[in-house]
Amino acid sequence: MAGKYAWYTRVTDAAHRLTVLTLLGGTLYMAGGLVYTLYQNGKRYEDEQLRLQQKENSDQSSAPAPAN
């Protein structure tokens, strides 16, 4: 069945398949990198907010009570 088409049709088909697979693979790779980066930045932001909140709580608990 492979000999049914002319050689240039097979070459063009192979080039097209390679192009599509390259575009699809590159898209999936970039999307994966984007998801990973967003996840890491979100985790870092949550850790920073937690540290700031803990520092704020420790500063409030160590402050002397106001005199009435």
Q: What is the pLDDT of residue 58?
A: 86
Residues 56, 59, 64, CA angle at the centre, nearest 5°? 140
Instruction: Indicate whether 35 belongs to any domain.
Output: yes
Please, what's the largest Cα pairwise distance for the chain?
A: 98
Instruction: Indicate whether 36 belongs to any domain.
Output: yes
> One-letter amino acid identity for 22?
T
Splitting the chain (68 residues) into consecutive groups of 10 residues, what average pLDDT does each group show?
A: 84 98 98 98 94 88 67
CB distance 31 to 39 below 8 Å: no
Host domain of residue 36: 23-59
> One-letter amino acid identity for 39?
Y
Instruction: Indicate whether 9 belongs to any domain.
Output: no
SS3 content of the chain, % helix, strand, coil (to 5): 85, 0, 15
pTM beyond cutoff 0.75: no
Instruction: Indicate whether 65 belongs to any domain.
Output: no
Count of structural domains, the chain: 1
Instruction: Indicate whether 42 belongs to any domain.
Output: yes
Instruction: Indicate whether 41 belongs to any domain.
Output: yes
